[in-house]
Structure 1
Amino acid sequence: MKRRTLLLAGATGAGALVVGWLAVPQRSRLGSPGLLPVRNGEVALNGWIKVGADGAIVLAMPRSEMGQGVYTALPMLAAEELDVPLASVRVERAGNDTIYGNVATVLAGLPFHPLDDEREDGFGRAKAARWVVGKIGRELGINATGGSTSVVDAWEVVRTAAATARASLLGAAALQWKLPVDELKVRNGVVSHASGPSAHYGELARFAAATPPGTVRLKAREDWSLIGKPAPRLDLPAKVDGTARFGVDVRPPGLKFAAVRLCPMLGGAPGRVDASVASKMPGVERLVMLPAYGGSTAGFAVIAKTSWHAMRAAAAVDVQWEQRPAGPLDSARIEQQLEAAVRSGDGYAFHSSGDVDAAERRASRTIEAWYRAPFLAHATMEPMNCTARVADGKVEVWAPTQVPLMARDIAARVAGVPAEAVTVHVPLLGGGFGRRLEVDYVGVAVRVAMDAGGAPVQLLWPREEDTTHDFYRPMHVVRLRAAVEDAQVASLRIDSAGDAITPRWFQRAMPPLAGPVDLPDKTTSEGLFDLPYAFPNQRMAHTATRSGVPVGFWRSVGHSHNAFFSESFIDELAGAMQVDPVEYRRGLLRHAPRYRAVLDLAARRAGWGTPLPAARARGVALHESFGTIVAQVAEVSIDAGGPRVHRVVCALDCGTVVNPTIVAQQMESAVVFALTAALHGRIDIKDGQVQQRNFPDYRMLLAAQAPHVETWTVASERPPAGVGEPGVPPLAPAVANALFALTGKRLRSLPLNLAAADA
């Protein structure tokens, strides 16, 4: 086969070269020991694992810790295969090699229905596409923390790296002691033999580095002692005692501070600037004009002695701001344009089965509803910040980022130096939610540091700048239509419109890879085109728009609003068919037992159908995202302040559970995050300006308003799926459906507002 491939490559040119490349096995991600710097007696055994002189394990960590638990989950994978206590594993930032790229996040962009693999026999279309795209992903080596893929991507590679290291360590002991390797035992990082010899990993590491691992076998599931069991988070003690270091905690010697002030009109720019008053204020050093980096809006920054001095001086600068050349943005006008785009019927069909047109012609009646979702900001607890130093042709950056290599690249472009001249440090992130997949704040910080005389500068976004210059979750409008024939829903047609995120993100973050043509973006229609329900005729299409508003990834991306549309409409159909909402869904899931099992578990644990206190109701929603199926039942009442959610029962099938405690934490976090958006979240734009500026008018859920959250998992032997985001999508429809059960009013727009309900 290899010989024929070479012949084809030589004879037919580029096309055959591609065929030949595809025939080559996927590149190993194990990596060489030379990728890891060693110090203090450490020994690297491959590109992921080092062993300390005391036997402690160091794991190369390519992902960012932003509260989702990767600094614990990934060490658990390594500790399991190495048979060491979790506490003896620490993480160290990985380098820039492609082995650390997140292949899973590349694969997640494929627009396949989640049931495609189950429908295919053998190596079908979906599996073939994943193999090819996975191969491309390994070559690209895009290092990103997002899409709930950190554990998914690490599942095979980290366990294999640890198992390979363990095999070499055991092999080294067997050679030294002249004993059969299969007679050796490992416990807590100590290799021993019944005849007496024993040594910890640190004593064997140097010999192991020169010992081939031989046959490497991953542990059998029944032999696991860590995976699947609760384990304390390794990052928790430092966060409790205050020693944890986030981006705003960075303090290199000689640090100066800066605050940014950007044009309040999105896409606009400063015109006349008078800094005479600001320049005379205490502690002020310099004003730096800023072009629009990484898709941001132009403005300026002030360098000063402290952040407070910088923010006060920035506010004192007298500026005549200018609108963007294309005119001011307006969210009300954008919503009208989206509705017109839906009515045009020109969208790209992400999924089509059967004959929807014929079913609609035969229908005895049609059920139609319009749903809407607004722009949303991220509102991370830690405001946007970055520290940078530019001196002697080199750039050093401390960036709380989800994409360190992209941060490196924009820093190099702004400073005009090679990428190799840039060093990026990634501290802990005080929330990411997709906002820190952008690199605008890194470009701005480097530009400011270029005017700081070689001193490091920490650039901070005041909360008002953070809220009014975000990359927002797109506004979407959708029309759902069901045709009823013989008292059954015969077809489902969904047409939606809204900005596509992925093409804009590529243009901002990866200009060399951004093409001139926008390809269909799965994120626009995910949660609509991939429903598990067995309607005989279906068509789901989306019209991708370009409103001009900067849009970006938001926790659970398109699923975050599309689940509200689809699961609310499923409830409408259940009502029209006069069937209980849970039973209606069960009937549509006869061919999808995994979904049905999750739905049944949630309903059972929530006591679906049992009596509730007066003036309370339950609502249900079921949704798959990032490979995880989640069903939620929300228990809701109404008080003087509006809807009140008392209890949320979450059931999920996320494949193999690595750490059940972290899974529960992520479900609880997702419920609070989603409930904040469902009850309060909206960004309005008028005359080009975002109207919400800070938490008083971009409200957060208060601790006293948080519901009791229960998490139940379905046992599974599948590989792990995503956990950080899948708890978000079902929450809004579950609450909306409960409010309908309580009031008879159907809420079809977010945030949920009973005064604007449709009867």
Structure 2
Amino acid sequence: MKRRTWILSALGATGALVVGWGLMPQRSRLGDGALMLPTEGEVGLNGWIKIAKDGTVVLAMPRSEMGQGVHTALAMLVAEELDISLAKVRLQQAGPETLYGNVVMLTATLPFHPLESEGDNKPAKVKLGEWFVGKIARELGINATGGSSSVADAWEPLRTAAALARAGLLEAAATQWKVPRNELKIQDGVVQHATGKSAHFGELAQGAAGLKPANVTLKDRKDWKLLGTPAPRVDIPAKTNGTARFGLDVRLPDMLFAAIRLAPQLGGTVGSLDSKAALAMPGIETLVPLEALGGSTAGFAVVGKTTWHARQAVQAVEVQWQAPTNGALDTEKIEERLKAALQAEDGFAFYNKGDTKAAEAAAASSVEALYQAPYLAHATMEPMNCTAQVKDGAVEVWAPTQVPEMARAIAAKVAGVKEDKVTLHVTLLGGGFGRRLEVDYVAQAVRVAMACKGRPVQLAWSREEDTTHDFYRPMHVAQLRASIDAAGQVSSLRIKSAGDAISPRWMARGLPALSGPIDMPDKTTAEGLFDLPYGFANQHMAHVATRMEVPVGFWRSVGHSHNAFFSESFIDELAAQTKQDPVAFRLALLKDAPRYAAVLQLAANKARWGSPLPAGRARGVALHESFGSIVAEVAEVSLKDGVPRVHKVVCAIDCGTVVNPNIVAQQMESAVVFGLTAALYSKIDIKDGAVQQTSFPSYPMVQLAAAPVVETWLVPSTRHPGGVGEPGVPPIAPAVANALFALTGKRQRSLPLVTVA
């Protein structure tokens, strides 16, 4: 299958109907002021902005805050264009309209090489693909927080909406005061004129409503006062004084609480159960059977007057579990099947360059290696939870979710009502990492609420259920092979990987109307392999998509999380094979990729690459692009009793225009610790169908005492913003592995990295 055929079929670009639709202009993302939820005295100026009586600006917030700082970053975009302080921007949850869909997250799924698709001079196929997928994304309006896309997606529409509101307010003042608009200025939300006349936004909003000012322009970069500054995060005060409301903080009158117990074998069901003793316990209301909802495993919930009561009773239920009909899963057998698929199938070729076969035939020698990575859990600090109430033919849901419209849709489906009968409140998220792109826990909460006679109920998973019934990062394997010519230069690079594809499984669970009987090639399987920046003359990158029946989902940085370990570790192998310094080897291959070279050089300089280190320490380096941002990391590592200790990590990042440098640094630090946990400790083992790791003792995290010092250096840029929530994760595992090789001379090709004897 050629890539062109894939894109056209994925877009449905066949037939006169689709062609005619495709010629229509793209849907505007500004919207009408009527979309903003009406509140007394507030005036909507467009679909994103309304003005309160006191002059406060209210921003429709469609993205979920899970610690990544998005509520601050998007508020900064609005505050800058309107010339107000960040404190004068108030957030209101956006409604269910398609206007708030995440367009960039979908256009980023196109499998184009970044060196082909970035900048202004894009090939026609890239422009066409982005236009069509962008148009589809606008029509679908899938509201999701993921793919490190929130700022990139809001960059133009949100600033434009704020600029439009600014122009309307100025025009209203000019009309009222009968003065030229260009004589007016705004200072911290107050429109002023040289005559001394002034009015705050609230006094002008009614006059600005409905106006369609001409010649609306965005602020020039040189005039920015807020963007690019380390503004304090707007969510921190509430999180420090205890007023912030996460999912588990929801409390409602006459509320009940539920605990869940799912079949220990993934895909298993309830055979029979005896609940008499459990239901007789104090404070217990009822037991609710749960079929497999939203891709979950079946089980049951027990409802009580407190979470403690419910958890005691749910464990007291005597149950006989039924094994899944397709047999018990086992990670050792899955690993064997993946390796067999790697040898037996050619896979889908995501990228071809030059003539790899000819280069291999003419090679003087070759280097070949097999790499692998395990299943991983998300292990968010706040376990899965959701509060729901089903009453009088309507449903109300309080959920920490990354996908509010999918949550609303599944709540309606489970309750048997139309979606407009579902009211959804998005709380703060105690970690997401992709786990809350799923809606199984929302479906379960609604099912339980249906049995509670109109009373609200909060369903809260235990840590053990959360770990053993996740949607895991897939296990993947990869075969990498390079040819070396007679001059000692790498003449070709061939990579073939194998593992489950996430996107089609996620679509089938949450967006079944868009899911077909045949899986299209999924970019997430090969990202970080097919899109390398290195200038090898001959390349062939392919992936064998498998289906191992383990529930898989998006995990922070998705395919990049393991593919960067494969590719950047192997690049280091090639440097060693050709007897070159790892940084110098990479730089020589980046002559046609100056952005990448600049990031690598900055990280190397700030880490003092090549300078002496204390005895027993070594440095390792890795460079990787993901989600529109380029990150290089240098890890300084030692061994004590064979156990790796990472002392310091120097990060350099080109993420385009920086909205808030403090948030970028925070996300790099978070990503390093998150990725280091996976690199050193994390794996999910399945035996006889059941996940063996149950909580933090068996699925440990990097603790504070072992956390490295992290330095973050930003490359100045005027490009549109890239992502920052995920790009810091992929380079850390290969950087540490490469440092361990420098220390020991032993190459580790499997995650997690083992202790060294």
Report the TM range for the smaller structure's normalisation.
over 0.9
Structure 1 range deviating more: 113-122 or 723-732 = 113-122
Structure 2: stretches of 5+ with no match in the other structure: 1-12
1:564 corresponds in structure 2 to: 565
Distance in 2 (CA, whole Å) between partners of 1:421 and 1:191 is 42
Q: Secondary structure of the equivalent of 1:139?
A: helix
Task: From the superposition, tell whether residues 120 and 160 of structure 1 become closer, same or farther in structure 2 (CA, over 3 Å).
Answer: closer
Q: Aligned ranges for residues 574-613 of structure 1 at < 5 Å?
A: 574-613=575-614
Q: Secondary structure of the equivalent of 1:378?
A: coil
> Which letter maps to 1:81?
E
1:573 corresponds in structure 2 to: 574
Distance in 1 (CA, whole Å) between partners of 2:160 and 2:466 is 41
> Which letter maps to 2:92?
E
> Which letter maps to 1:677?
A
Cα displacement (A) at 1:118:
5.2
Checking the alignment, whether the CA contact within 8 Å between 1:434 and 1:555 is kept in structure 2 is yes
1:67 corresponds in structure 2 to: 67
Distance in 2 (CA, whole Å) between partners of 1:420 and 1:175 is 40
Cα displacement (A) at 1:218:
0.2
1:737 corresponds in structure 2 to: 738
1:712 corresponds in structure 2 to: 713
| Percent of aligned pairs sharing the same letter | 67
Q: Secondary structure of the equivalent of 1:115?
A: helix
> Which letter maps to 1:195?
T
Q: Aligned ranges for residues 306-385 of structure 1 at < 5 Å?
A: 306-385=306-385
Cα displacement (A) at 1:252:
1.3
Cα displacement (A) at 1:120:
8.4
Task: From the superposition, tell whether residues 58 and 628 of structure 1 become closer, same or farther in structure 2 (CA, over 3 Å).
Answer: same
1:658 corresponds in structure 2 to: 659
2:36 corresponds in structure 1 to: 36
Task: From the superposition, tell whether residues 699 and 142 of structure 1 become closer, same or farther in structure 2 (CA, over 3 Å).
Answer: same
Checking the alignment, whether the CA contact within 8 Å between 1:266 and 1:324 is kept in structure 2 is yes
Q: Secondary structure of the equivalent of 2:146?
A: coil
Q: Secondary structure of the equivalent of 1:309?
A: helix
Checking the alignment, whether the CA contact within 8 Å between 2:116 and 2:123 is kept in structure 1 is no
What is the root-mean-square deviation of aligned Cα atoms in Å? 1.2
1:10 corresponds in structure 2 to: none
Distance in 1 (CA, whole Å) between partners of 2:641 and 2:198 is 69
Cα displacement (A) at 1:212:
2.6
Checking the alignment, whether the CA contact within 8 Å between 1:291 and 1:299 is kept in structure 2 is yes
1:539 corresponds in structure 2 to: 540
> Which letter maps to 2:606?
R
2:553 corresponds in structure 1 to: 552
Checking the alignment, whether the CA contact within 8 Å between 2:642 and 2:756 is kept in structure 1 is no
Cα displacement (A) at 1:628:
0.3
How many residues of Structure 1 are paired with residues of Structure 2 in the alignment?
A: 744
1:139 corresponds in structure 2 to: 139
> Which letter maps to 2:46?
N
Distance in 2 (CA, whole Å) between partners of 1:184 and 1:393 is 52
Distance in 1 (CA, whole Å) between partners of 2:542 and 2:642 is 38
Q: Aligned ranges for residues 2-401 of structure 1 at < 5 Å?
A: 15-117=15-117, 121=121, 124-401=124-401
User: What stretches of structure 1 move > 6 A for 4+ residues in a row?
Assistant: none
TM-score scaled by length of structure 2: 0.97
> Which letter maps to 1:601?
L
1:518 corresponds in structure 2 to: 519
Distance in 1 (CA, whole Å) between partners of 2:76 and 2:38 is 22
Cα displacement (A) at 1:400:
0.4
> Which letter maps to 1:432?
G
Distance in 2 (CA, whole Å) between partners of 1:67 and 1:430 is 8
Checking the alignment, whether the CA contact within 8 Å between 2:596 and 2:630 is kept in structure 1 is yes
Distance in 1 (CA, whole Å) between partners of 2:339 and 2:33 is 56
Distance in 2 (CA, whole Å) between partners of 1:548 and 1:38 is 47
1:5 corresponds in structure 2 to: none
> Which letter maps to 2:108?
A
Q: Secondary structure of the equivalent of 2:114?
A: coil
1:446 corresponds in structure 2 to: 446
Cα displacement (A) at 1:210:
3.8
Cα displacement (A) at 1:211:
2.9
Cα displacement (A) at 1:688:
0.1
Checking the alignment, whether the CA contact within 8 Å between 1:168 and 1:214 is kept in structure 2 is no
Q: Secondary structure of the equivalent of 1:560?
A: helix
Distance in 2 (CA, whole Å) between partners of 1:640 and 1:499 is 37
Distance in 1 (CA, whole Å) between partners of 2:167 and 2:692 is 60
Checking the alignment, whether the CA contact within 8 Å between 1:628 and 1:726 is kept in structure 2 is yes
Please state if 1:412 is matched with 2:389: no
Distance in 1 (CA, whole Å) between partners of 2:183 and 2:208 is 17
Distance in 2 (CA, whole Å) between partners of 1:16 and 1:682 is 50
Cα displacement (A) at 1:121:
4.2
Q: Aligned ranges for residues 479-494 of structure 1 at < 5 Å?
A: 479-486=479-486, 487-494=488-495
Task: From the superposition, tell whether residues 567 and 122 of structure 1 become closer, same or farther in structure 2 (CA, over 3 Å).
Answer: closer
Question: Residues 329-366 of structure 1: CA distance to partner in whole angstroms, max 9, x if unpaired?
Answer: 00000000000011113211111111111111111111
> Which letter maps to 2:188?
N
> Which letter maps to 1:412?
A
2:4 corresponds in structure 1 to: none
1:8 corresponds in structure 2 to: none
Cα displacement (A) at 1:132:
1.2
Question: Residues 444-479 of structure 1: CA distance to partner in whole angstroms, max 9, x if unpaired?
Answer: 110011100110010010000000000000000111
Checking the alignment, whether the CA contact within 8 Å between 2:247 and 2:429 is kept in structure 1 is yes
Structure 1 range deviating more: 40-49 or 329-338 = 40-49
Q: Secondary structure of the equivalent of 1:397?
A: strand
Please state if 1:472 is matched with 2:475: no
Please state if 1:624 is matched with 2:619: no
Distance in 2 (CA, whole Å) between partners of 1:55 and 1:429 is 29
Distance in 1 (CA, whole Å) between partners of 2:552 and 2:718 is 37
Cα displacement (A) at 1:22:
2.1
Cα displacement (A) at 1:119:
8.8
Question: Residues 375-403 of structure 1: CA distance to partner in whole angstroms, max 9, x if unpaired?
Answer: 00000000000000011111111110000
Q: Aligned ranges for residues 662-681 of structure 1 at < 5 Å?
A: 662-681=663-682
Distance in 2 (CA, whole Å) between partners of 1:118 and 1:82 is 30
Distance in 1 (CA, whole Å) between partners of 2:408 and 2:244 is 23
Distance in 1 (CA, whole Å) between partners of 2:591 and 2:124 is 23
Cα displacement (A) at 1:411:
0.6
Q: Secondary structure of the equivalent of 1:750?
A: coil
Distance in 2 (CA, whole Å) between partners of 1:259 and 1:213 is 55
Question: Residues 710-731 of structure 1: CA distance to partner in whole angstroms, max 9, x if unpaired?
Answer: 0001100000001100000000
Distance in 2 (CA, whole Å) between partners of 1:339 and 1:307 is 44
Distance in 2 (CA, whole Å) between partners of 1:44 and 1:754 is 60
Distance in 2 (CA, whole Å) between partners of 1:286 and 1:641 is 52
TM-score scaled by length of structure 1: 0.97
Distance in 2 (CA, whole Å) between partners of 1:545 and 1:49 is 46
Distance in 2 (CA, whole Å) between partners of 1:15 and 1:523 is 29
Q: Secondary structure of the equivalent of 2:743?
A: helix
Checking the alignment, whether the CA contact within 8 Å between 1:303 and 1:310 is kept in structure 2 is yes
Cα displacement (A) at 1:303:
0.3
> Which letter maps to 2:465?
E
Q: Secondary structure of the equivalent of 2:521?
A: coil
> Which letter maps to 2:246?
F
Structure 1: stretches of 5+ with no match in the other structure: 1-12
Checking the alignment, whether the CA contact within 8 Å between 1:747 and 1:754 is kept in structure 2 is no
Checking the alignment, whether the CA contact within 8 Å between 2:352 and 2:541 is kept in structure 1 is yes
Distance in 2 (CA, whole Å) between partners of 1:561 and 1:123 is 29
Checking the alignment, whether the CA contact within 8 Å between 1:171 and 1:212 is kept in structure 2 is no
Cα displacement (A) at 1:690:
0.2
Distance in 1 (CA, whole Å) between partners of 2:241 and 2:420 is 36
Cα displacement (A) at 1:260:
0.5
> Which letter maps to 2:29?
R
> Which letter maps to 2:576?
G
Q: Secondary structure of the equivalent of 1:754?
A: coil
Distance in 2 (CA, whole Å) between partners of 1:242 and 1:16 is 57
